[in-house]
Structure 1
Amino acid sequence: MAYKLPDLPYPYNALEPFISEEIMTLHHKKHHQTYVNGLNAAEVSIATAPSFKERIALLNALKFNGGGHINHSLFWKNLAPANQSALKPGPLKDAIDRDFGGLQNLQKEFNATTAGIQGSGWGWLGYNAKTQRLEIVTTANQDPLLSHAPIIGVDIWEHAFYLQYKNVKADYLVAIWNVINFDEAEKRFIDAIKAGAKI
């Protein structure tokens, strides 16, 4: 079964002025579509490769494109128009207060850690089932987050911000918190707790 580009849950201009319509259109229709195409091609190539050695050689393409598809599919749901993105009282807010001392402290630590990524990658707020805490994690390139349950993910590849923020990643990271979908993040958090040990 072929992978498909998921629809955005909002119009391309819904995240303005924090993320422009132009960025969202290119990011979704071009970049994510490229990962979907690459993932489908990698799966066909692996299935039809004449030798085990040739199948092994294709695993990097599978990881890169598969990670790009997984990460972006999470990312689109991770965002919402600014008037729909507030962190409300509930389990996620309680955990953020407990683990970071509040949302502002989380944002400051997350932005500092994520801005430190050299090259391309992702910044994550993840739930660690072993420690039963929220933790900030980064992954390189399009590597998916496997060590934690992803709660919030931020794409730090230049295609996510360069047309609007140029080379100033810090400004993009400040702006994106205005369009984080905290309702979606809380659903992921609750699901992560249910899947692992309870707090």
Structure 2
Amino acid sequence: MIELPPLPYAKDALAPHISAETLSVHHGKHHKAYVDTTNKLIAGTEFEKLKLEEIIKRTASGKEHKKLFNNAAQIWNHTFYWHSMAPKGGGKPKGKLADQINVDFGSFEKFHEQFHTAGVGQFGSGWVWLVFKDGKLKIEATSNADNPLAHGETALLCSDVWEHAYYIDYQNRRPDYLKSFLDDLCNWSFAEENFATARAQSKAA
């Protein structure tokens, strides 16, 4: 059985950039609904005892298990998103991740611009990710529940651009929400840890 992961901070910890009301609805209702639906779908099936990541990988292609993939992937996406933010976040990354951003994007400012543009430009519901693959960083926007895990890529950071992630606080102003994510919320320590792990795995392969 898959459980709803707790938020890594208090519901009011990201205010005023993301309100306690938003986190209460987003985590307590949307995220929980994906967990509840996934558990119903896997009950008595070959997926029942698998870890969440394995369920996602096994159901990522084809239409047979599309509903299960959508719900399982959304559990993983949301959990990753919560950790991609931190109270008093934002600023710039440090160390090797900062160096890699300068190499692959030209500067942090160019990364900031490209990440923001990708998120704003994602039509409808979806996500914007900083990923690591084949020794390089890149920015990807995915629709609905799709994520880098389903494509053999390593996610370092993400922002949710489904409307329920920001509508209470920003209404339809997605650009303002994404700017606040980058400037005030982005958890670079989390991204740096993911990058260090990804580089170590890449060298060991």
Sort the TM-score into its range (normalised by shorter chain). Answer: 0.7 to 0.9
Q: CA RMSD in A?
A: 1.9
2:126 to 97, 121, 124: 121
In the alignment, structure 1 residue 108 sits paired with structure 2 residue 113: yes
Change (3 A) 1:85 1:173: closer
Query: Where does residue 176 of structure 2 map in the other structure?
Result: 171
Runs (4 or more) in structure 1 with deviation over 6 Å come to none
Query: Where does residue 79 of structure 2 map in the other structure?
Result: 73
| TM alignment of 1:180-191, pairs within 5 A | 180-191=186-197
Distance in 1 (CA, whole Å) between partners of 2:85 and 2:94 is 19
**Equivalent residues of 1:45, 1:58 under 8 A apart:** no
Query: Where does residue 142 of structure 1 map in the other structure?
Result: 145
Change (3 A) 1:17 1:4: same
Query: Where does residue 163 of structure 2 map in the other structure?
Result: 158
1:86 deviates by 3.8
Q: Secondary structure at the match of 1:196?
A: helix
Query: Where does residue 11 of structure 1 map in the other structure?
Result: 10
Aligned length: 187
| TM alignment of 1:19-98, pairs within 5 A | 19-44=18-43, 46-47=45-46, 59-82=65-88, 84-98=89-103
**Equivalent residues of 1:85, 1:183 under 8 A apart:** no
Query: Letter of the aligned partner of 2:107 in structure 1?
Result: G
1:21 deviates by 1.1
Distance in 1 (CA, whole Å) between partners of 2:168 and 2:123 is 19
Q: Structure 2, unaligned stretches of length 5 or more?
A: 48-61
1:144 deviates by 2.1
Give the share of equivalent positions with the same residue, in percent.
Answer: 34
1:125 deviates by 0.5
Query: Where does residue 51 of structure 1 map in the other structure?
Result: none
**Equivalent residues of 2:93, 2:192 under 8 A apart:** no
Q: Secondary structure at the match of 2:5?
A: coil
Query: Where does residue 136 of structure 2 map in the other structure?
Result: 133
Distance in 1 (CA, whole Å) between partners of 2:71 and 2:94 is 37
Kindly provide the CA deviation profile for residues 101-131 of structure 1, in whole angstroms up to 9, marking residues without a partner as x.
2222111111111211111000000001x2x
Query: Letter of the aligned partner of 2:76 in structure 1?
Result: I
1:45 deviates by 6.1
**Equivalent residues of 2:73, 2:146 under 8 A apart:** yes
Q: Structure 1, unaligned stretches of length 5 or more?
A: 49-55
Distance in 2 (CA, whole Å) between partners of 1:124 and 1:61 is 22
Between 139-148 and 160-169, the greater mean CA deviation after superposition: 139-148
Kindly provide the CA deviation profile for residues 139-158 of structure 1, in whole angstroms up to 9, marking residues without a partner as x.
11011213321011110000
TM-score (normalizing by structure 1): 0.88
Distance in 1 (CA, whole Å) between partners of 2:117 and 2:8 is 29
Between 137-146 and 85-94, the greater mean CA deviation after superposition: 85-94
